[in-house]
Amino acid sequence: MKEFSIVIAGGGSTFTPGIVMMMLDNLDRFPIRQLKLYDNDGERQGILGEALEILLKEQAPHINFSYTTDPEEAFTDVDFCMAHIRVGKYAMREQDEKIPLKHGVVGQETCGPGGIAYGMRSITGMMEIIDYMEKYSPDCWMLNYSNPAAIVAEACRRMRPNAKVLNICDMPVGTLRRMSQIINKKPEDLEVRYFGLNHFGWWTSVKDKEGHEYLSEIRDYVAENGYLTQVEVDTQHMDKSWQETHKKAKDLLAIDPRFLPNTYLKYYLYPDYEVQHSDCSYTRANEVMEGREKTVFTAAKKIIEKGTAENSGFTIDSHASFIVDLARAIAFNTHERMLMIVENNGAIANFDDDAMVEVPCIVGSDGPEPLTQGKIPAFEKGLMHQQVTVEKLVVEAYITGSYQTLWQALTLSKIIPSAEVAKNVLDDLIEANKDFWPELK
């Protein structure tokens, strides 16, 4: 079996060790000859890089491992780029969440004004690494799971339409895992139908390989408990904020009981509830910085200090195995069925062809082929059209440098109550992001 060369863009991410561990756990399915980390923050990446170098020498000494801030070194001789960048790091995520809350608006990483702010930062970083990839390894595929995925995917469609970029999100993977726990199955035994945008969609079918439909059984559970399962609480050490998110799915289900909702819809359909239950001084960003951030970097420093990765504290990010499934689909033409973010082109029959939608696809060596989901109901279609227009306006504002267009994007967002509030939030976000956004006029 061919051995592959991988670069992880965003090598200083707290997710990097778990993903590296996951790839080591899947070497029998996806052999690796070379693994590189790339980040523009050399100091941050260096801590994880040094620790992972020790780990790889012990667990997979045949893999040629390196970490660098030099784009040519990182992207030369690479088959796959796995991208999980966070422009502005957690310090800017904190601003994305707290600035809107100051104005009485939902403060969330990927939704509403926070997601728009993050998107405006991410476009620059994404286009940069796409250009590096195409310059130094033109046959390379990018597996992109950087947030906010919807805005990033639209930017790729508009600005790099011919790039070999695959946009995917881990949220449906996690929700399918919880669904499988509800019905005592394994995720790989289930096949779903789904339509929507990223972080903005609905499951219409959950079947096993024999064709048995579990939608009503899962729906009955979600109507009482949301997607929260005791297995996840006990084994995944789930943060309280995520437990609340999964429980809130029961209220989302009540709005349209025909379909199983994506949990992120709570920010759009219950924004007043979210604001009331938010703490302006302590948001999810603080939770992550005091939790996963400290845990991962403390573990890395201990590995460096001890000179060994035995009992390291790094854990396998097993649900991220979807990244290996996607890479294998491209490399070995496996025709894997996966939820992907793709240009609609008729996959949802009564929706805009140029919208970046999230639907099941069959993935082979030429990329994803969307499966048609038919026509969707008026309620979901109306919500999706409003949201996809916001995403298109954000990318248009980035390209043209238009303050007016970005103000319109925030005004149109279902999360923001008025044009006046949108303008006030926007002005504060511009000030906070002056080192990251293009100049708006």
Rg (CA), the chain: 21
**DSSP string of 135-201, one letter each residue:** HH-TT-EEEE-PSSHHHHHHHHHHH-TTS-EEE--SHHHHHHHHHHHHTT--GGGEEEEEEEETTEE
Query: Rounded mean pLDDT of 191-201?
Result: 98
Band (237; pLDDT cuts 50, 70, 90): low
pLDDT of residue 236: 59
pLDDT of residue 215: 98
pLDDT in tens, 129-168: 999 999 999 999 999 999 999 999 999 999 999 999 999 9
Per the annotation, where are the binding residues? 93, 147, 169, 199, 284
pLDDT of residue 317: 84
Contact 31, 63 (CB under 8 A): no
| Per-residue three-class SS string for 266-307 | HHHHCHHHHHHCCCCCCCHHHHHHHHHHHHHHHHHHHHHHHC
pLDDT of residue 231: 81
pLDDT of residue 234: 72
Q: CA-to-CA distance for 406 and 427, rounded, in angstroms?
A: 11
Q: CA-to-CA distance for 133 and 141, rounded, in angstroms?
A: 8
Contact 8, 68 (CB under 8 A): no
Report the mean per-residue pLDDT for the chain.
96
Percent of the chain with pLDDT over 70: 99
- Amino acid identity, residue 376? I
Output the CA torsion sign for 95, 97, 98, 99: positive
More confident call, 348 vs 314: 348
Q: CA-to-CA distance for 358 and 341, rounded, in angstroms?
A: 4
pLDDT of residue 146: 93
Q: CA-to-CA distance for 391 and 398, rounded, in angstroms?
A: 11
The SS3 of residue 260 is strand
Q: Which residues are catalytic?
A: 170, 264
Of the candidates 133, 260, 278, the one whose C-alpha atom is nearest the C-alpha of residue 196 is 260
pLDDT of residue 235: 65
pLDDT in tens, 267-322: 999 999 999 999 999 999 999 999 999 999 999 999 999 999 998 889 888 778 89
List the structure tokens of 403.
Answer: 């303050």
Chain centroid, CA 179 distance in Å: 19
Entry pTM:
0.96
Parallel, antiparallel or unpaired: strands 356-364 and 336-343 = antiparallel
Q: Which helix (H) or strand (E) holds 232?
A: helix 230-235
Q: How many angstroms separate the Cα of 78 from the Cα of each of 6, 27, 136, 437?
A: 6, 17, 8, 30
Question: What are the phi and psi torsion angles at 68 (to 5°)?
Answer: -155, 160
pLDDT in tens, 84-131: 999 999 999 999 999 999 999 999 999 999 999 999 999 999 999 999
pLDDT in tens, 363-377: 999 999 999 999 999
Per the annotation, where are the binding residues for Mn(2+)? 169, 199
Contact 385, 369 (CB under 8 A): no
Q: CA-to-CA distance for 48 and 338, rounded, in angstroms?
A: 30
pLDDT in tens, 371-430: 999 999 999 999 999 999 999 999 999 999 999 999 999 999 999 999 999 999 999 999
Of the candidates 124, 128, 245, 119, the one whose C-alpha atom is nearest the C-alpha of residue 175 is 245
**Which residues, at least 6 apart from 31, have a Cβ–Cβ distance to it below 8 Å?**
1, 2, 3, 4
Q: CA-to-CA distance for 165 and 142, rounded, in angstroms?
A: 5
pLDDT in tens, 34-65: 999 999 999 999 999 999 999 999 999 999 99
Per the annotation, where are the binding residues for substrate? 93, 147, 284
Contact 357, 342 (CB under 8 A): yes
Asked whether residue 223 carries a pLDDT value surpassing 80, the answer given is: yes
Q: How many CB atoms lie within 10 A of CB 438?
A: 15
**Count of residues making up the chain:** 441
Q: CA-to-CA distance for 201 and 318, rounded, in angstroms?
A: 24
Q: How many angstroms separate the Cα of 399 from the Cα of each of 52, 119, 395?
A: 38, 12, 6
The CA-based dihedral angle spanning residues 265, 266, 268, 270, taken in that order and rounded to the nearest 10 degrees: 150
